[in-house]
Chain A
Amino acid sequence: MPDRPLFLERASFRRRRLGDAARVMPVLALLLVLVPVWWMPERISSAGGAIWLFGLWAALIVAIWMLHRTLRRADATTLRASRAITDPRPDDHAV
C-alpha cells in the first residue's frame, strides 16, 4: 500500500503495538485456559485447580480492562493529534 507511511511517530507507533497486544490477548487467554487441562487434568480438577482457574480468570479480566483503557486513551491522543494537524483551530470539545 503506497499510501501508508513507512514510519510512524511515537504516539501512532505505540497505538499500533497496543493493537497488536489486543490481537494477542484472546490467543494468550485460550492457551492459558487449555494447556494446563491437557497437561495435568487431575490437578486442575481439584480445589487447588479451581482456585488457580478463578485467579487466572480474574487476572485476565483486569488485563483486558487495562488494555482497553490504554487503547482508548491512545486513540483519544492520536485523534487529538490528527485533529490538531488537520484543523489548527483550538477544539476544546475534542474527545
Chain B
Amino acid sequence: MPFEALVAGCLAYVALMFGVAFAADRAAGRGKVRWLDHPVVYTLSLSVYCSAWTFYGAVGYASRSGLEFATIYLGPTIVFAGAWWGLRRLVRVARMHHVTSIADLISARFGKSNRLAGLVTLIVVVAATPYVALQLQSVSLSFEVFATDGLSDIRVAGMQGTALWVAAGLALFTIIFGTRNLAADERHHGVVTAIALEAVVKILAFLALGIFVVWGLADGPADMVDRIHRTATDPENRGWLLQPDRWTALILVSGAAVIALPRMFQVLVVEAADEDRLATAGWAFPAYLFAMSLFVLPIAVMGRDVLPADANPDLYVLTLPAQSGQNWLAFLVFLGGFSAATSMVVVCTIAVSTMISNHWLTPLWLTLRRRPQSGDPEDLRGFVLNARRLAILAMMAVSWTYYQASGGTAALASMGLVAFTGMAQVMPAMLGGLLWRGANRQGAYAGVGTGSLLWMLMIFLPSLGIDGLLPVPPEVDPLAFAILLSLAVNTLAFIALSIFGMPDPVERLQGLSFVSAVDPIRHSRVARGVDQAEPLLVMARRVWGAEDALRFFQTEAALQGKSGYLPDLTPGFLTRLERRLAGSIGSATAHAMIDSVAGGVKLTVSDLMQVADEAQRAKEETQRLENATAELARTARQLHEANDKLTALSVQKDAFLGQISHELRTPMTSVRAFSEILKNPTLTPEERSRFAGIIHDEAGRLTRLLDDLLDLSVLESGQARLSVMPVTLHDLIDRALTAASATRPERHFRVERDPLAEYVGIITDADRLLQVLINVISNARKYCDAEHPVLIIRVIRVLQGGAQIDIADNGSGIEPARQALIFEKFARLNDPARAGGAGLGLAICKEIMANLGGEITYLPGQGGAAFRVVLPRRPPVPSDAGWRHRA
C-alpha cells in the first residue's frame, strides 16, 4: 500500500475520531446523555484494556509462550465474574466520594492524605511512561511494515517522525477533549465515545484477520487445531509448556491491573455514571476479551508456519495479510492497531495528568501561595486546567523520549508486564481499604512503599537492562518470583503496620464510609471556624468558575429553604461542598482548602465520638418518630370509627325522633278522634263501649311507650330497684317462651332446648331477667325470616359461678354493619312497620343486664341472629353512692 495513501487513510480516521468526540461532547453539553450512558458504550470503553500490547503483542507473546498469553485476559475475566458484588461496590463508593483517580481513592480512604496520593502518582508515572512509549513504538512499527517496499529518502524521514507526529496528535486530542472543563464529576463523554468506536474497529479488525487466517490460510478449524498441536508438541518450543507459578502470578497481576491501571480505573470507575452498568459489563467485557483472544493462537501458529523465521512475531498480524496480498485487510488491521494504541494513550494520559495536577502541581502551588489572594478569582481553575495540559504534554514528551532512548527494541509483552506489576502494588492497600476498617495510612505507606521498591529493583530496572540487584533463586521463574514476593511483602507490611498503627479521626471517619459503603457521616468540624458562606463561595468560584459555583450555592441554599446564594454552614452543606470540590481537584486538596478557608479546626477523637453519638441519637429519634407515627395512625383509626358510629347514631336519632312523634301521634290521633265520636249523643251503648275500649287501648299503648322511655332512663342512671331472689333458669325460660308466644302467634317455632342443663340456680332479679329473655325471644319471633323457624336455647354453667344463655334462631341474622348499633337506644332494624316498637327493646335489655352485673352480646357467625346473655351468680351490691342518691 502506498505510504501516502496510508497516511491519508490514517488522517481521515483521526478526523473521524475528532468528529465523534466533538459530537458526543456537544450532545452531552445539551444534556443528551442517554445513549452516551448506555451500558454498551461503557463496556466498549472498558476495552481500552486491550492496548497495542494486546493487538500486536498478544500474538508475539503466544508465539513465544503459547497459551500463557491468555493469563492477561483470564485475570480480568475472573475479576469481572465478581462484578456484581465487588466492582459495583467499588464504583458506588468511588462515585459517592467523587473520586478522580486511583491515587485519589487511596488518599481519600486513608484520611485524605495528599502525600500518599503523591506516592501513588509517582508509581503511576513510572509505570505508565514505558507503557505509553510502547504504544508509540507499536504505531511506528506498524507504519514501517507498510512501507518496506521501495523506501525513498523522504519516506524514511517521514517514518522516523511517525512517533513524534502521533505523540503530538494524541496530545492535541487529549488536551482538547480531556481538559475542556473542570467539572465536579470527571467525565469525558467525547473521549469515551471515541474510544468506544475505536473498540469496535479493534474487534472487527481482529476477528476479520482471525477468520481470514483460519478459513483463508488454513483449511478450517480442524486443520488449525492440527497445526497448533504440531507446534505445541515441537520439542524446540519449550516456551510453550505452561509453568504453573507463572500462570498463577500472571493471572493475579492481570486481575489487579484491570482495576488499578490508571486508564482502566478512569473508564471503569471515574467515567461510570452509576454502578448498574456493571451488570451488563460483567459478562460483556469478558466476552470482548474472549473474542480478542480467540484467534491469537491460530494467528501465531500460522505466522510461524508461513512467515520467515526472522519475522517479528509482534507484527504477525500485519505481515500475514500483507504477505498474502490482502491489502484492505491489512489496512483494517492497521487501523485496529492504531485504535488500540491511540485509545490507550489518550485515556492513560488523561488519568495520569489528572493525578499529576491534583496531587503534585496543585498542592505545590497552594503551598507556595500561602499569602492571601486578592487577585483574579478564576486563577485556580485556570491553573488546574493548565497544569493538566502541561502534564499531558510532559507525559507525551517523556514517553517519546523514552521510546527514542530505548531504541524500540524490547519485546512488547515485557513492557506491558512492567506496568501491570507496578500497578498491582497498589491493590493490597486499595482492597484492604475497601474491606477492612482497621486498615490505616501507615499500613498503606508501608505496603505501597515496600511493594513498589521491590518492583523497582526486581522488575522495572531489569527491564531497562540494570540486572542482578537482588538475587533470584536459579530454579524459579524470575518474573513469577518477583511478582509473588513483592505482593506478599507488600500485603504483610500493610497488614502489620495497620495492626500496630493508630488512625487519626478523619481517617476513621473515611474508613467507616468506605468499608460500609455509606455516605460519609456529617460532622460539625468547620462550623466553628467561620460563620458565613461567602469565603467558601469565593473559593468555589476559583475552582469551578462563577456560574457553576453560584448554581451549586443557590441549590444548597434552596435546600435549606433560603433564598439567595449563601446557605448556612451546616455540616451537611460543608460535606457536600468538600466532596464536589474533591471531584475537581482531589479529596486531599479539597479538604485542605476548606480547612484553610473555614479556619482549619482539627477533628478530634471526641468529635468522632460525638458523631457516633449523633448518629445513634438520630437512629433513636427515627425509631421514636416511627413509633409515634404508628400510635397516631392507631388513634386516627379509632377516632374514625367513633366518628362513623356517631354519624350513624345521629342519623338514627333523627329517625327515632320522627318515629317517636309518629308513635305518640298515632294513638293520640285515635284517642282524639274517638273522643270526638263519643260526644255524639246518638251512639248506641255498644258502640260507645267499643270506642271507649279503643281509647283505653290507645292510651295504654301511649303509657307503655312512655313507661319504656322512663324505664330506660331509670336503668341508665343506675337507680333501678332490684328485687333479688334465687331462681332457676329453666322456669324463667319456660315463662319467657310462653309470654313471647303472643308475638306473631301465627308463626310456629320449633324450640330446641336442653332442659337438664337449664337447671341452674342463680340469684338475680327474676322479673328483669324475664323481661330480657322475652324481648330477645320476641325479637327472634318477629325478625326470623326462615321458612321453618327454629329457636335454639342453650344454657351453659360458667365455672366461676353464674351462667350464660345463648338464644339463636335460624334466620338471616344481622348484617355486620348493623351489629354495632343494635344495642343503641334509638336503633331499630328493618322498617318501622314490621318492628311495631320504638327500637328501645335491646337498649333496655343491655341496661338491665348491666344492672344485673352481666351483659348481653350479639354472637356473630351462628347461622342466624344469636344473642348471649351472661349472668353472674349474684348481682353486684349497689355502691354507697347509689344508695345515698336514692335516699
Interface residues of A (CB under 8 A from B): 19, 22-23, 25-26, 28-30, 33-34, 37-38, 41-42, 44-51, 53-54, 57-58, 60-62, 64-65, 67-68, 71-72
Contacts and interface: CB of A to CB of B under 8 A. Distances in A.
Nearest to B237: A45
A61 B293 CA distance: 14
B67 A50 contact: yes
B233 interface: yes
A23 B85 contact: yes
Nearest to B232: A46
Nearest to A19: B85
Contact of A45 (B225, B242, B293, B294): B242
Given A37-B247, A45-B232, A67 B241 contact: no
A28 B233 CA distance: 30
B290 A58 contact: yes
Interface of B: 66-67, 70, 74, 77-86, 225-226, 228-229, 232-233, 240-244, 247-248, 251, 279-280, 282-283, 286-287, 290, 293-294, 297
A39 to B, nearest CB: 9
Contact of A41 (B241, B251, B293, B294): B241
A25 B67 contact: no
Interface SS of B by simple majority: helix
Contacts of B82: 22-23, 25-26
6 contacts: A23-B85, A29-B78, A38-B244, A45-B242, A49-B67, A64-B81
B301 to A, nearest CB: 9
A31 to B, nearest CB: 10
Contacts of B244: 34, 37-38, 41
A46 B226 CA distance: 10
A65 B283 CA distance: 5
Interface centre among A22, A46, A65 (most CB of B within 10 A): A46
B592 to A, nearest CB: 37
Q: Which of A22, A47, A62 has the most CB of B within 10 A?
A: A47
B67 A57 contact: no
A73 B225 CA distance: 40
Given A37-B242, A45-B242, A60 B232 contact: no
A49 to B, nearest CB: 6
Contacts of B81: 25-26, 28-29, 60, 64
Contacts of A41: 241-244, 247
A45 B77 CA distance: 20
B229 A46 contact: yes
Given A41-B242, A51-B225, A68-B283, 11 more contacts: A25-B84, A30-B251, A33-B78, A41-B243, A44-B242, A45-B240, A46-B232, A47-B229, A54-B290, A61-B286, A68-B279
Given A41-B241, A71-B84, A53 B286 contact: no
A26 B79 contact: yes
B71 to A, nearest CB: 9
Closest 4 CB pairs of A and B: A26-B82, A65-B283, A47-B229, A22-B84
B290 A33 contact: no
Given A45-B232, A45-B242, A72 B279 contact: yes
Contacts of A68: 83-84, 279-280, 282-283
Contact of B228 (A50, A61, A71, A72): A50
B85 A22 contact: yes
A16 B80 CA distance: 20
A30 B866 CA distance: 74
